[in-house]
Amino acid sequence: MLKTVMYYWNAARGYRWKPWKSPYMRWRFETFLGEEAAELTARKFFRLAWKYREYMERFVDWASERRRIQHRHHA
């Protein structure tokens, strides 16, 4: 769960206190959820984040592993 919070913190840079207004976070949610994520509001953002938290945790774990492998190859 900590990795997921850290991902959101980094991904919402510039919009950390209002991540539902972040163009990147909106794009990420719309890409993953489609119509369900259209017109994000604070309430909708947190409801969807909670509803799909297991999927997001898996995504963050995958991204973390990719980053680790990439760093190992470029170090």
Residue 75 pLDDT grade (very low, low, confident, very high; cuts 50, 70, 90):
low
**Which pLDDT tens digit goes with each residue over 11-34?**
889 999 998 999 999 998 999 899
Domain spans of the chain, in order of start: 2-70
**Which pLDDT tens digit goes with each residue over 32-47?**
899 999 999 999 999 9
Cα–Cα distance, 66 to 22 (Å, whole number): 24
- Which residues lie closer than 8 Å to 15 by C-beta, 6 or more apart? 21, 22, 25
Q: What is the DSSP letter of 12?
A: T
